[in-house]
């Protein structure tokens, strides 16, 4: 007679412990993680081409969206490997390739990786410079119950005038886009450049803090890699980091994490 209430109390505690994680998960706000990384076709600071190191870093970060730059497809220098396809296989993500130009028997360009499959893919040609350039963009719902967004990978090149023309053309392409847009990649432009100033007028460019330099990866002294967004109402920046990685590429990875703001209580 004395022990029964104690047993019932224990059962109650066990039930609460079982249900509590479910209740906490239901109250968690959705998060969206974006990675920008110029992987230099897998060519590390040790002079070795090893795409598996790039893929391992991506898996470790566990992003929803990735914009890798300097990607080879079936070129001589990287052993005729379709690097976009291989990155998709190694990271278990959907992969799209945007070629810039023919190179060494294959193609050179950039890629986009996404956990969820894109509903649309476009490779927009930009004004030519020293090398042809495009902007690869996908339309995707990147997370469960998240918004449909346009995600675009950037690799502007090479002179100040060429980069400015490429940026202006990209803004023209996106001028009528009302959905949320995220741009990520190698802008080859410093924060005080004309290129970044025109984006700053309408785009949110999260500040990386004191440790903001992205190149060279072994002794960083310049900031040219960015992630920015527009029209993401109801979302906030949780954090943005430049990762310490001196071997895999000559660039350091940039990771942005966004979270959805709690819904306002109904009156």
Amino acid 139: pLDDT? 98
16: in domain: no
113: in domain: yes
DSSP 8-state symbol, 251:
S
9-40 pLDDT, tens per residue? Answer: 566 566 555 654 444 344 578 999 999 999 99
Determine contact, residues 213/221, Cβ cutoff 8 Å: yes
- What are the b/e assignments for 89-109, b being 16+ CB within 10 Å? ebbebbbbbbbbeebeebbbb
109-119 pLDDT, tens per residue? Answer: 999 999 999 99
267: in domain: no
5: in domain: no
Provide the mean pLDDT of the chain. Answer: 92
Determine contact, residues 228/197, Cβ cutoff 8 Å: no
Nearest Cα neighbor of 253 from 266, 261, 244 is: 244
Determine contact, residues 40/65, Cβ cutoff 8 Å: no
127-146 pLDDT, tens per residue? Answer: 988 999 999 999 999 999 99
Residue 258 pLDDT > 50: yes
Q: Which tokens in the block code for residue 266? A: 């109904």
User: How would you classify residue 41: left for phi > 0, otherwise alpha for psi between -120 and 50, otherwise beta?
Assistant: left
221-241 pLDDT, tens per residue? Answer: 999 999 999 999 999 999 999
Range of the domain at 37: 31-260
Please report the sign of the dihedral spanned by the C-alpha atoms of residue 68, residue 69, residue 72, residue 76.
Answer: negative
Amino acid 263: pLDDT? 78
Residue 2 pLDDT > 60: no
Structural domains in the chain (count)? 1
Amino acid 140: pLDDT? 98
Mean pLDDT value of segment 175-204: 98
Amino acid 17: pLDDT? 57
Amino acid 235: pLDDT? 97
Amino acid 29: pLDDT? 84
DSSP 8-state symbol, 215:
B
CATH code of the domain containing 204 = 3.60.10.10
164-182 pLDDT, tens per residue? Answer: 999 999 999 999 999 999 9
CA 267 – CA 121 distance, rounded (Å): 41
Query: CB under 8 Å to 257, separation ≥6 — which residues?
Result: 31, 32, 33, 34, 237, 238, 239, 240
Query: CB under 8 Å to 244, separation ≥6 — which residues?
Result: 252
Amino acid 253: pLDDT? 99
Nearest Cα neighbor of 200 from 188, 211, 192, 208 is: 192
CA 179 – CA 9 distance, rounded (Å): 52
Residue 35: which H helix or E strand, with range?
Answer: strand 31-38
Residue 73 pLDDT > 90: yes
15: in domain: no
Gyration radius from the chain CA atoms: 22
148: in domain: yes
11: in domain: no
Q: Which tokens in the block code for residue 233? A: 């109402």
Amino acid 129: pLDDT? 86
24: in domain: no
What percent of the chain clears pLDDT 70, i.e. is strictly above it? 88
């Amino acid at each position: 007679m004395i022990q029964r209430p104690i047993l019932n109390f224990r059962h109650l505690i066990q039930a609460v412990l079982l249900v509590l994680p479910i209740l906490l998960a239901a109250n968690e706000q959705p998060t969206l993680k974006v990675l920008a990384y110029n992987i230099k076709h897998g060519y590390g600071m040790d002079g070795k081409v090893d795409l598996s190191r790039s893929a391992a870093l991506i898996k470790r970060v566990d992003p929803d969206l990735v914009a890798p730059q300097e990607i080879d497809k079936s070129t001589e220098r990287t052993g005729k490997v379709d690097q976009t396809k291989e990155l998709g296989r190694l990271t278990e993500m959907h992969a799209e390739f945007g070629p810039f130009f023919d190179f060494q028997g294959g193609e050179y360009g950039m890629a986009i990786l996404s956990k969820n499959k894109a509903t649309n893919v476009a490779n927009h040609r930009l004004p030519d410079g020293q090398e042809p350039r495009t902007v690869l963009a996908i339309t995707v719902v990147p997370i469960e119950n998240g918004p449909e967004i346009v995600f675009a990978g950037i690799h502007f090149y090479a002179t100040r005038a060429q980069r400015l023309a490429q940026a202006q053309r990209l803004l023209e392409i996106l001028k009528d886009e009302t959905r949320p847009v995220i741009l990520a990649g190698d802008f080859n432009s410093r924060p005080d450049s004309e290129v970044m100033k025109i984006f700053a007028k309408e785009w949110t460019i999260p500040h990386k803090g004191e440790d903001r330099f992205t190149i060279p990866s072994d002794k960083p002294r310049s900031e040219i890699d960015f992630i920015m967004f527009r029209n993401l109402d109801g979302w906030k920046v949780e954090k943005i980091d430049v990762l310490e990685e001196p071997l895999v590429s000559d660039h350091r990875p940039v990771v942005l994490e966004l979270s959805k703001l709690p819904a306002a209580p109904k009156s």
